[in-house]
Amino acid sequence: MRSKQSPVERLREWIQRNPWPTAMAVLAAFALWFAYRGADVFAQNKAERDILAARDAAVAAVTARSGDLVGRMLAARKQAEPLLAAGDEGPVKLHFREAFKQAEAVELFTPDFSAAYADIAAFGAGKLGLLEAAVNDDSVAMRVIKAGGGPRLALVKSLGSGAQTRLAYVQLPVSELDAALGGPMQGARFLALRQGQYDVLTRGDATLASTAELNAGKVGKTPWRVVASVPLADRGLFGAGGIGEFVLAALLAAAAVACRFAPAFLHRRRHAAAFGQDEAVEGDTTLTLEEMRQKGLLAEKLAAERPVFNIKEAVRPKVPLERSIFRAYDIRGVVGTNLDAGIARLIGEAVGTVLVEKGLAGIHVGYDGRLSSPGLAEGLREGLASTGVAVVDLGCVPTPLVYFAAANSELRSGISLTGSHNPPDYNGFKIVIDGHTLSGDAITALFDRIVDKKIIKAENPGAVTSRDVMPEYVRTIADDIHIERPLKVVVDCGNGVPGAVAPQVLTAIGAQVEEIHCEVDGNFPNHHPDPSDPENLQDLIELVKRSGADLGLAFDGDGDRLGVVTAQGEIIYPDRLLMLFAEDVLSRNPGAAIIYDVKCTGALQGHILRNGGSPLMWKTGHSLIKAKMKESHAELAGEMSGHFFFAERWFGFDDGIYAAARLLEILAAAPDGIQAAFDALPTSVSTPELKIAVEEGRQHALIERFVAEAHFDGARVSLIDGLRADWPDGWGLVRASNTTPVLVLRFEANDQAGLTRIQEAFRERLLALDPALTLPF
């Protein structure tokens, strides 16, 4: 008696008896699927075409609207100038009021802004910057500024001449541009009027804003762009927008039809010619897996797919886990005291858990050239992989390359294991998760997670693979920057990891590079890799002078900071470099926000305003600055320590190597030469960063007492970060370092007498705080 067959067995038997009908059904099903996919891809690309059409319409409408506003401004000026010559400003304002009945404010200013500079916060930095831009502008200066508690559209035009010169200021609601952007937008579409990094007006789904810049359309001679985005369209097979799928569907349908007639055709062929066929079939036979294994080929195939690193048995900490290493904007400790491979593994477990909880698939890991870095990196990778996330190992690379890899990957996360500019026995972790650099509570939360054992353990560890990001990094910079004339530069990397990358980047953009101390050596045998200390620049200064180079460039231990010396051996401090960068960025992005830290020169605020920008002083710290850049949509930021952050044409992270390339681009195009470009910047009498060593962790307590007890008569005191006291002729600062146990000070004044007076005021109050302090001034 025949046993009853299961449905699967009956299906298998039917397929064996009817292979051609089966093949025809499968091919027909695939043909239908690809036809459906073609229709879907075509629809996606239509959505993209529609949003681009909407962008172009908005560009035209905003161009027309802004042209109308400019026209009315020029007409009012023409009518008002004869009245201004008569010395009566009342009727002048009235003409502008008549031209702009919807105006919130109409004012006249003289080109002397001394009163405005005396209290910039009350007057408005955006307003002052626009007035400064209009002084030497023959056209109408127009942009969106922050005034009256929110964004406003402002226009300025100069009228009159000589002592009668006035600047007519008209302030309008931003809604004046609203209609030009069109009506509400439904579905997954986004359209915005963007100035710098700030979206003035928006339509549609704001979650698509981050990719809208790819479809930006410039609005005439205004500072605005119309940006647009839809979900990324699938280009389909061969990038043909759905046509490839339709073609493949047709081919599969034809194959399905061929299967319908294949049995009869093959039956005739077998009767017509049978000889030689067995040999042909045997010659085309593909190797089976067993045959691959016997020939040794399978092992090679599997080895190629295996992760680069095998996850070993968990590394255990041999030093105590201390809260003190979890600092304001990174994790930093002393190897062998409160940091080792076991601690690195715990940190990896904590970060990996955060990634899993956020639904992120993996993270990039890179490390600097310190002797302790490879071992710590291994522990870090093991910890990350133990949570199940994928780890992409970048090897020994500068920190900016880790940031770059994260910014150019779907993972959008990275950890740079580096001691930066700190002593050789230090090391640490700079962490980016989903595009955000961790700081403050987000870092201390990692410590709490480890202590509370809120760690995810995956049944299968994540794969650890490798990526060589350096060629892409060099190519990306070289594709964007190429200097107008060759410059000879000396590069001193202090034996830090930038020595493996910086010379290649600068050579790729057209510079002639001479290297000094560029061999990566974690012992730092020549000098410490900290360009903020003038003592560490002496070798560079000597070689620049001896070689007749145009410039000297120095990098810190992980490449996110830049130091510069001229052909004459003069150190150009980072706050003056930031002036040069700000001029360049503002020439293309009028009104952009420029951020600088509390250690920067007092002349920087006025310099940014005079170049039409919006200055913003903020706390010291790379992660704090990056967070403020995102919040304020700033195009550029810089710190006195030598960190520079370019959002314009770059990714907004601190990158000393990229900053060096941008500097050479500016200097190579300087019409009067390099020294003239530096000489044109405002000067003062100032000190470099001065440091007072204290016991580990005590610096913060001392600053708290200093802020509470110290008083400075006649000074405007800022408590953004530590205490900064500004007098009319100079300023002084004392703050707690977040990376090493020191107090950081800096002083600046118009002349030496003022500098001495300010230093003495701080000396008196610091020694009153603790007479045992050893002061460096």
Mean pLDDT by runs of 10 across the 777 residues of the chain is: 65 73 78 72 72 92 94 92 83 91 93 80 84 81 88 93 89 92 86 88 88 85 89 62 70 76 60 39 42 44 40 73 90 94 97 96 96 96 96 97 94 95 92 93 95 94 95 96 95 97 97 96 93 94 96 97 97 96 94 94 92 92 91 94 96 97 97 95 90 90 94 91 93 89 94 96 95 93
Look at strands 512-516 and 488-492 and give their pairing: parallel
Beta strands at 644-646 and 685-686: parallel, antiparallel or unpaired: unpaired
Identify the active-site residue in 229, 386, 416, 420: 420
CATH for 760? 3.30.310.50
Q: What is the pLDDT of residue 293?
A: 43
Which of these is catalytic: 643, 724, 735, 765?
643
- Is the residue at 441 inside a domain? yes
CA distance 193 to 219: 9
Q: What is the DSSP string of 27-85?
A: HHHHHHHHHHHHHHHHHHHHHHHHHHHHHHHHHHHHHHHHHHHHHHHHHHHHHHHHHHH
Shared domain check, 160 and 137: yes
- Please indicate, yes or no, if residue 227 is contained in any of the structural domains: no
One domain for residues 707 and 582? no
695 with 615, same domain: the answer is no
Terminal Cα-to-Cα distance of the chain (whole angstroms): 107
For residue 529, being part of any structural domain is answered with: yes
Residues in the chain: 777
Label the pairing between strands 685-686 and 742-749: antiparallel
Q: Do residue 538 and residue 411 come from a single domain?
A: no
Q: How far apart are CA 484 and CA 752, in angstroms?
A: 39
Secondary structure (DSSP) of 202-251 = EEE-GGGGGGGGGG-EE-TTSSEEEEEE-SPPP--GGGSTTHHHHHHHHH
Residue 519 lies in a domain: yes
Q: Within this chain, do residues 447 and 477 fall inside the same structural domain, yes or no?
A: no
Tokens describing residue 504: 């290649």
Cα(586)–Cα(626) distance, integer angstroms: 19
What count of other Cβ atoms lies within 10 Å of the Cβ of residue 728?
Answer: 12
Question: Given this model, what pLDDT does residue 280 score?
Answer: 34
Position 312 scores a pLDDT of: 45
Residue ending a domain, among 468, 484, 502, is 468
Only one residue has tokens 């319908």, namely 260
The reply to whether 553 and 655 lie within a common domain is yes
CA distance 231 to 416: 31
Strands (DSSP E) along 439-482, which ranges?
Answer: 464-466
- The CATH code of the domain that includes 461 is 3.40.120.10
Q: Do 504 and 592 have their domain in common?
A: yes
Strands 464-466, 390-396: pairing is: parallel
In 528-635, the DSSP E strands lie at: 551-555, 562-566, 571-572, 593-597, 614-618
| pLDDT at residue 665, as a whole number | 98
In a domain, 525, yes or no: yes
Q: Token digits for 56? A: 């172009």
420 belongs to the catalytic site? yes
Residue located via tokens 């025809």: 24
Q: Is 508 exposed, middle or buried (0-12, 13-18, 19+ CB in 10 A)?
A: middle
Question: Where does residue 26 rank: exposed (0-12), middle (13-18), buried (19+ CB within 10 A)?
Answer: middle
Q: How far is CA 431 from CA 27, 124, 322, 530, 623, in A?
A: 50, 36, 18, 21, 9
Regarding whether 544 and 499 lie in a shared domain, the answer is: yes
Question: Could you tell me the residue range of the domain that residue 54 belongs to?
Answer: 18-176+242-262
| 466 part of the active site | no
Count the neighbouring beta carbons within 10 Å of the beta carbon of residue 323.
Answer: 12
Residue 290 lies in a domain: no
Phi, psi of 691 (to 5 degrees): -130, 140
- What does the radius of gyration of the chain's CA atoms come to, in whole angstroms? 33
Identify whether 161 is part of a domain: yes
253 and 382 together in one domain: no
Query: Side by side, which strands form the sheet with 217-218?
Result: 198-204, 190-195, 224-229, 217-218
Structure tokens that stand for 387 in this block = 């949570």
- Cα torsion angle, 606, 608, 611, 614, sign: negative
Cα–Cα dist 686/282, whole Å: 85
Contacts of 601 (CB under 8 A, 6+ apart): 573, 575, 576, 682, 684, 686, 748
117: number of Cβ within 10 Å: 15
Q: Quick check: 114 and 176 in contact, CB under 8 A?
A: no
Of 95, 89, 86, give the one whose Cα is nearest residue 109. Answer: 89
User: Residue 27: CB partners within 8 Å, gap ≥ 6?
Assistant: 252, 253, 255, 256, 259
Catalytic residue from among 332, 370, 412, 610: 332
Cβ atoms < 10 Å from Cβ of 53: 11
Residue 463 and residue 480 share a domain? no
Alpha carbon distance 724, 617 (integer Å): 11
Q: How far apart are alpha carbons 634 and 629 in whole angstroms?
A: 5
3-state secondary structure of 650: coil
Which residues is 713 bridged to in the sheet? none
Under 8 Å CB-to-CB from 43, ≥6 apart: which residues?
none
Q: Which residue type, as a one-letter code, is found at position 139?
A: S
Q: Are residues 402 and 522 in the same domain?
A: no
* Strand order through the sheet with 166-173: 105-109, 166-173, 150-159, 141-147
| CB-based contacts of 50, cutoff 8 Å, min separation 6 | 189
How wide is the angle at C-alpha 616 spanned by C-alphas 611 and 618, nearest 5°? 145
Q: Are residues 657 and 695 in the same domain?
A: no
Residue 210 is assigned to a structural domain of this protein? no
- All residues at 6 or more sequence positions from 407 whose CB lies less than 8 Å from its CB, including other chains: 435, 651, 653
What is the DSSP secondary-structure string of 133-173?
HHHT-SS-EEEEEEETTEEEEEEEEEES-GGG-EEEEEEEE
How far apart, in whole angstroms, are the C-alpha atoms of residue 121 and residue 130?
A: 15
651 phi/psi in degrees, rounded to 5: -110, 0
Q: Which residues of 377-398 are buried (b: 16+ CB within 10 A; e: fewer)?
A: bbbbbbbbbbbbbbbbbbbbbb
The three-point CA angle 12-18-19 to 5° equals: 85
The structural domain count of the chain equals: 4
Residue 420 · residue 370 · CB < 8 Å: no
